[in-house]
Amino acid sequence: PRSRNGKVFAMFFMLLGAGTVLYALTVLAQSVLQSELVEALDLRRKTKEMDKLKDHFIVCGAGRVGRRVIRNLQKEKLPFVIIEQDERRLAEFENDNIQILIGDATLEDNLIQAGVKRARGLASCLADDAANVYVVLTARGMNEKLHIVARAVEEQAEPKLIRAGASRVVAPTIIGSQSMARALLKPAIADFMESIVAETLDLVFEEVAIGKHSPYANKRLRETNISRQLSLIVIAIRRADGELSF
């Protein structure tokens, strides 16, 4: 502008524009810093909560198999940590107040952060057999007493997982085919087995450890009143050496 008033207007217009841009940048930077701070504090809180966990369970992988394991742990109200690399699979657990660790379960640092050295059990539910073998091998090396259940995608992976240190190996494809064959050939038995898995009100299976000072220790079943006193039926006894008597 050539006029005096035009120059004054242009000066104020530029100052106002620059000020608006600077203010917008300041608000944006503040928002980013605040969100990062909140995220860092939340991560620190979750890390502290994980550090307090003991005798908990670790679920590696929140896919189709892992989600069912998680739901069962929730149903039993047991403490556990989920390790999953894909954040999209964790969306359904965001509001459940669950300990979640976003990362690769095959990495030793993530297993340590999840408390593998203090854990009671670990379920390796990854979709790749090689990854499950690596998780089992790493976890067993850090905790010899850990109860490890691993998923076998292919049938031939079962012996490898056992050698790696898995306590139990579950192959969903084999179990599914066995269930289908049972439902086809022996439907009554299939209904009975489904009632066991479903844990209906009429039939619930539990396992209980008998302590050294228990009144039932070192006694025959007929020498106790366990069935009458507790309204249950003992169907099997696993002895200290691992022998299972039905």
Segment 137-167, tens digit of pLDDT: 999 999 999 999 999 998 889 999 999 999 9
- Residue 168, classed as helix, strand or coil, is strand
Burial readout 77-114 (b: 16 or more C-beta within 10 A, e: otherwise): eebbbbbbbeeebbeebeeeebbbbeebbbeeebbebb
- Judged by average pLDDT, the poorest of 18-22, 47-51, 203-207 is 47-51
Residue 34 predicted with pLDDT over 90? no
DSSP state of 139: H
DSSP state of 85: S
Six-digit token pair at 191?
Answer: 């209904």
Q: What is the C-alpha to C-alpha distance for residues 14 and 22, in angstroms, rounded to an integer?
A: 12
Residue 44 predicted with pLDDT over 70? no
**For all residues of the chain together, what is the average pLDDT?**
87
- 84: Cβ–Cβ under 8 A, 6 or more apart, which residues? 60, 61, 62, 66, 90, 100, 101, 102, 105
Residue 242 predicted with pLDDT over 80? yes
Distances, alpha carbon 50 to alpha carbons 43, 53, 191, in Å: 10, 5, 40
Mind spelling out the 3-state secondary structure of 7-39? HHHHHHHHHHHHHHHHHHHHHHHHHHHHHHHHH
Q: What is the C-alpha to C-alpha distance for residues 154 and 163, in angstroms, rounded to an integer?
A: 16
The torsion angles phi and psi of 212, rounded to 5 degrees, stand at -60, -35
